[in-house]
A and B are shown apart, each in its own frame.
Chain A
Amino acid sequence: MPGLFDSLTMAARSLQAQQFGINVTGQNISNVNTPGYSRRVTDFADVPMPAGGGVDVQGVRSIRDMLLERRLLAQVPLGTYDAAVADALAVVETSLGRTGDTLDARLNEFYDAFAELAENPTSAVARREVQVAGEALATSFNETARRLNANRQDADTRLRNSVDEINTIATRIAEINAALPAATANEGGLTLRDEQSALLRRLAELASVGTIAREDGGVDVTIGNGRALVVGANAYELETAPTAPYGYAALMAGDFNITSEVTGGTIGGLLYVRDSAIPGYLASLDTLASQTAASVNGLHTAGFDLNGAAGGAFFSYALAPVGVSGAAAALRVDPAIVADNSLIAAAGVALSGDNGAARTIAALRNQRVLNGNTATLGDGWGSLVYSVGSDVRSASNARDTHETITREVDALRDQVSGVSLDEEALNLLKFQRAYEANAKFFTTIDSMLETLMNSYRP
């Protein structure tokens, strides 16, 4: 049978326990907006009467659902991949030029100039016009190619920044792994776990990663085809190595080039834009430029210039393309023609007043010379614009879908781990009332003691 002093001790312990509960509630409320924070729950246990009675705080748990956390890690990279692609391609799309005034407008003006020349094969003005329109068309090809290459460069720069961020995060995860064994099972361990889950999420935004939980609460992280990024307390940093010919970064894990292994996330998206999407557009542009030059030159060299000599090339390249690669960037009106536009071959026969060549070049407008003679040069440009437009469209649709799914999974995780202010308000009330009742108990015992003290009158 415990005495009154034991009761006082019990009341004090209970008051402390309720106060602890209030503190944990306060902690939850404070961290309502902290990313990665999982709500804390205080575990109370009764102290058996023989041991003094009352309540004891067993510990603080954080509430997590590992399954949902893993699901989130798998879902997040899908959304950020599409977001990276959509963002980068949205810039590419503006590089094609203002709607209604893109390369095709220069192409039409070029045909127009040759049609004018066909009317006045000997006119100096018409020749000048052809030269200017040719230069404008070549410049338009050069500029579009330059902008596409600049977009590729941008993707590479952003990629390098993302790799730096991955390394920073990997280092921090390794540090947490090192600190966890000592900190586990106390409040410090929970904070580290929160930070770990926020870091893993940020990592998943950057690239698809694999995680293996360690017994001590730490986590090992792999990237690509199981390449170690973090093992225990060690982080293995990714490196970037420049590759020929443009010096774009290859991702290196040790000596292995893992560029093709990294998928998903911002990095996956940027790699796709840099290595597949933009090169595809550039290849179409190069084919178009090369075919334009070949078609015009074919007709031009078959003609005769103002002096009755056989026509030379109208278009040439500042730098010889490899196959068609680089054709758009290097296309120019042949310097000989720029220097002397009487060399423009308007005539189909060696007579100054003839317009045979100019007429056939102007009629290229309707000639199907592309893709195995199935499309005009204008169609070729149209299909390039179409593919950029539809790629942007499908990437942003996919981004929207994946972002919705990510939000749903986030909401599921929040249902388990998130802080509900209403719930915490109730907890506050609960602990406050318990504290009040315990205080009442304390005063009751105190007054009983006082009664006892006062009953003794020496």
Chain B
Amino acid sequence: MRMTAASVYRDSIASMERTSQRLLEFQEQVQSGKRINRPSDDPDGLAAAIGERAEVAAIEQYTRTGDSVTSRLTVLDTALNDIIDRLTLAQSTIVGAQGSQKTDGEREAAARTLDGVKQALLADLNTSFRGTHVFAGADSIDPPFMMTGSVVSAYQGSTQEVAVDLDQTHSATIGIDGSVISQGSAASDVFTVLDTAMAAARSGDAVALGQALTDIEAVFERATLVQTRVGTTLSSMESLKGALSDRRLATKARIAKLEDADLATAITGMTQADAAYRASLAATSRITQLSLMDYLK
């Protein structure tokens, strides 16, 4: 086989290019810490990583929603606690106002207590959080109950409740239909009941007071039901957040596995490629120096 100068040069250049290319690839991996620096480095891996990143983005959004929902539900829970306390106070006041030996002063005091309960319930049901009224359902810009003089309006919110997604399968109600608490399926709402109770307390109408007690008890039960619902969601939030956090870690780990360079391998590879490159340079310089011309005298 005739070895010609041109083919020696060509082969030398090709092998130098090949080895230096390999060295550069490993260098890029070590410097960027990434195994995939462009789609062609690993098309499958990158496409999978895009899917995983969407998953992480979704999980992070669910986590943010979860945090905000937790504070919202805590506000709801506090308001419901207060509502229940007030209703208990109303019940005991009505029970206390019953009986024929009550003085006018005692009756008036009971009526005023009931008025206080009414005011407090109004404030609780009009609770707002970050600009939305939490007991107004979907119509949350305006307060669900308005007071004109001493008369509280009927429920002005929406019966459509507002829920947000906590993950792909769970959701939480954050805008509650306040009429479920205030009226439910009863004939008159809690404020009317309290008004009736006040009048009955003042006039000592035992029958009306008895009816009011029954009605308040129904309100109490409805409020308790709603609070149970809120409480259940609130207590499941922690485990939900834990699950999201686990999923997030697992997904991040998968992304890292897909995209990040295994530094040990990359550095070993770089060292090998470096040695190969040096060897190729040395061989080229040796081969191109050899010439019969040097030996002919």
B294, closest chain A residue (CB) = A425
B254 contacts partner chain A, Cβ-Cβ < 8 Å: no
Alpha-carbon gap, A347 to B163, bound state (A)? 12
Q: Complex Cα distance A94/B38, Å?
A: 7
Report yes or no: B34 in contact with A390, Cβ–Cβ below 8 A.
Answer: no
Given A382-B50, A421-B291: A99 in contact with B4 (beta carbons within 8 A): no
Q: What residues on B are CB-neighbors of A359 within 8 Å? A: 163-165
Residues A411 and B10 in contact, CB atoms below 8 Å apart: yes
A378 partner residues in chain B, CB cutoff 8 A: 50-51, 54
Render A396-426 as a binary contact track against B, CB cut-off 8 A, 1 for contact: 1000000100010011001110111111011
Chain A residues contacting B57 (CB-CB under 8 Å) are: 105, 108-109, 111-112, 365
- Most chain A CB within a 10 A radius of its CB, from B7, B46, B48, B54: B54
Q: When A354-B162, A411-B11 are in contact, do A111 and B131 touch as well, CB less than 8 Å? A: no
- In this assembly, does B187 line the interface, its C-beta being within 8 Å of a C-beta of chain A? no
Complex interface: stretch among B132-140, B208-216, B225-233: B132-140
Once the chains bind, are A99 and B34 in contact (CB under 8 Å)?
yes
Asked if residues A410 and B10 are in contact (CB atoms below 8 Å), the reply is yes
- Residue of chain B at shortest CB distance from A378: B54
- From B36, B41, B46, B158, give the contact of A353 (CB < 8 A): B158
Complex contacts, B168 vs chain A, CB 8 Å: 366
Chain A residue contacts of B138, Cβ below 8 A = 347, 349, 351-355
Q: What A residues does B37 contact at CB under 8 A?
A: 99
A393–B10 Cα distance when bound, in Å, is 25
B residues in contact with A386, CB < 8 Å: 39, 43-44, 46-47
A431 within 8 A of B: no
Convert A65-104 into 0s and 1s, putting 1 for each residue whose CB lies closer than 8 angstroms to a CB of B.
0000000000000000000000001100110100110101
The chain A residue sitting closest to B175, CB to CB, is A353
A174 to chain B, nearest CB (A): 28
Map CB proximity to A onto B46-73 as digits: 1 under 8 Å, 0 otherwise.
1111110110011011001100110000
Asked if A123 is an interface residue, CB under 8 A from chain B, the answer is yes
- For residue A353, which residues in chain B have a CB less than 8 angstroms away from its CB? 132-133, 136-141, 158, 162, 175
When distances are taken between beta carbons in the complex, the residues of chain A under 8 Å from B175 are: 353
Evaluate contact between B165 and A393: CB separation under 8 angstroms. Answer: no
Instruction: Name the residue in A119, A353, A414, A415 with the highest tally of chain B Cβ atoms < 10 Å from its Cβ.
Output: A353
Tell me, yes or no, whether A388 is within 8 Å of chain B by CB. yes
> B3: which A residues are within 8 A, CB to CB?
420, 422
Interface residues of A in 354-410 (CB under 8 A from B): 354-355, 359, 362-363, 365-366, 376, 378-379, 381-383, 385-390, 392-393, 396, 403, 407, 410
In the bound complex, residues from chain B placing their C-beta under 8 Å from that of A109 are 57
B11 and A407: CB pair below 8 A? Answer: yes
Complex formed: what's the CA distance from A387 to B50 in Å?
Answer: 13
- Decide yes or no whether A336 CB sits under 8 A from chain B: no
Distance, CA A420 to CA B4, complexed state (A): 4
Q: Hey, which chain A residues are within 8 Å of B42, CB to CB?
A: 389
Residues of the B chain whose Cβ atoms lie less than 8 Å from the Cβ of A428? 296
Contact of B292 with A389 in the complex, beta carbons under 8 Å = no
Contact B47 A382, beta carbon cutoff 8 Å = yes
Residue numbers in B under 8 Å from A388 (CB-CB): 39-40, 43
Question: How many residues does chain A have at the interface if contact means C-beta atoms less than 8 Å apart?
Answer: 69
Check B53–A105 contact: CB distance below 8 A.
yes
Closest to A39 in B: B4
A422 touches B39 (CB 8 A): no
Confirm or deny: B94 has a beta carbon within 8 angstroms of a beta carbon on chain A.
no
Report the nearest A residue to B32, measured CB to CB: A99
A112-130 Cβ-contact flags toward B at 8 Å (1 or 0)? 1001101111110000000
Contact B7 A120 (CB under 8 A): no
CB proximity to B under 8 Å, residues A438-455: none
Q: Known contacts being A111-B58, A118-B165, is A392 close to B34, with CB within 8 Å?
A: no
Chain A hits for B38, CB < 8 A:
90, 93-94, 99, 389, 392
Bound: A10/B139 CA distance, A: 122
- Mark each residue of chain B from 19 to 47: 1 if its CB lies under 8 Å from any CB of chain A, else 0: 00000000000000010111111111011
A116 proximity list for chain B (CB < 8 A) = 64
Residue B170 CB within 8 A of the other chain: no
Cα separation A378 to B44 with both chains bound (whole Å): 15
- Distance from A281 Cβ to chain B, minimum over Cβ atoms (Å): 11
Whether the pair A379, B6 counts as a contact (CB closer than 8 A) is no
Which one, B14, B165, B174, contacts A362 given CB within 8 A? B165
Interface assignment of A429: CB less than 8 Å from any CB of chain B? yes
A419 touches B39 (CB 8 A): no
In the assembled complex, the Cα of A105 lies from the Cα of B47 at a distance in Å of 13
| Nearest chain B residue, comparing its CB with the CB of A379 | B51
Cβ of B68 and Cβ of A104 under 8 Å apart? no
User: Whole-angstrom distance from the CB of A148 to the nearest CB of chain B?
Assistant: 14
Q: B293 touches which one: A90, A100, A425 (CB < 8 A)?
A: A425
Contact check, A418 vs B4: say whether CB atoms are below 8 A apart. Answer: yes
Assess whether A120 is in contact with B58, with CB atoms less than 8 Å apart.
no
User: Top 8 nearest A-B pairs by Cβ distance?
Assistant: A389-B39, A353-B140, A418-B4, A389-B43, A108-B57, A354-B138, A392-B40, A386-B47
User: Which residues of B come within 8 Å of A, CB atoms?
Assistant: 1-7, 10-11, 14, 34, 36-44, 46-51, 53-54, 57-58, 60-61, 64-65, 68-69, 130-133, 136-141, 158, 160, 162-165, 168, 174-175, 259, 291-293, 296
6 contacts between A and B (CB under 8 A): A112-B57, A353-B138, A365-B57, A381-B50, A418-B2, A425-B292
Q: Could you list 5 further interchain pairs (A-B, Cβ under 8 angstroms) beyond the known A104-B54, A393-B43, A415-B1?
A: A119-B68, A122-B131, A354-B162, A382-B50, A403-B14
